[in-house]
Amino acid sequence: LFKIAKNNTEHSTVANFFKEGKNDLAALCRSTFDEDRKFSGTEQPVVGITWYAAQAYCFWLSLCAGKPDSYCLPNDIQREWAAGGKREPIPQKVREYSWADEKGEPTPTLANFGMNIGHTTPVNRYPEGATPEGLYDMGGNVWEWCNDSVGSRRVIRGGGWSRNAGFCRSSYRYGFTPGYRSNFVGFRPVFVP
């Protein structure tokens, strides 16, 4: 975490974030929706996590694996290609949505979006919406933090349960300040072998 922070201009912001919670680091890194049954199921994505807390989790997971930097948040392009697939002959072109093209536009059988459920769902709830590579919920359910920044904001991708179908596009990105928490923003660590 601190290696990443030293490589960008947010070092003092990261340090300040953790200084604020020095008396209760667990609360600082815990989801603010732990007690809300709509968002705390064992197979649901964790939401209510800041970008800083997501980074701290990746750092902790890397320590548990015994290999520094073995887990991280995906960068913007990694997340887009994981959702949309890297296609030939033009590598930059991805599927419009994360599921196979022949399935078409988003429907309530492919993804959790547009308040069709009203909260997050277990990650295996939409098998029809999985990528051809086997990844679930790459469109809908929760926005996911990425490692990249745009100005003072961190990139998020994936759309969420509360937004319309257009936000679920593989190429769509948005951003929030790294200290932002919400019941529609979570994260997905990437393993780096």
pLDDT-derived band of residue 170, with 50, 70 and 90 as boundaries?
A: very high
Number of neighbouring beta carbons within 10 Å of residue 146: 26
Measured distance CA(181)–CA(137) in Å, rounded = 20
pLDDT number for residue 93: 78
pLDDT-derived band of residue 28, with 50, 70 and 90 as boundaries?
A: confident
**CA-based torsion, 31, 36, 39, 40: positive or negative:** positive
Number of neighbouring beta carbons within 10 Å of residue 162: 20
pLDDT-derived band of residue 3, with 50, 70 and 90 as boundaries?
A: very low
Mean pLDDT over residues 115-141, rounded?
96
pTM: 0.86
pLDDT-derived band of residue 39, with 50, 70 and 90 as boundaries?
A: very high
Measured distance CA(137)–CA(126) in Å, rounded = 7
Give me the residue label for tokens 């968002």. Answer: 39
Q: How far is CA 75 from CA 25, 44, 117, 129, 146, in A?
A: 26, 23, 29, 22, 5
Mean pLDDT over residues 22-49, rounded?
86
Measured distance CA(15)–CA(10) in Å, rounded = 9
Mean pLDDT over residues 19-28, rounded?
69
Burial of 95 (0-12, 13-18, 19+ CB in 10 A): buried
pLDDT-derived band of residue 97, with 50, 70 and 90 as boundaries?
A: very high
Residue 15: in which H helix or E strand, if any? helix 11-20
Give me the residue label for tokens 């200290």. Answer: 179
pLDDT-derived band of residue 91, with 50, 70 and 90 as boundaries?
A: low
Give me the residue label for tokens 């022949």. Answer: 102
Measured distance CA(178)–CA(156) in Å, rounded = 10
Residues making up the chain, counted from first to last: 193
Query: Tokens standing for 42?
Result: 């064992």
Query: Tokens standing for 125?
Result: 């709830």
CA neighbor of 187 nearest in space, from 60, 21, 20 = 60
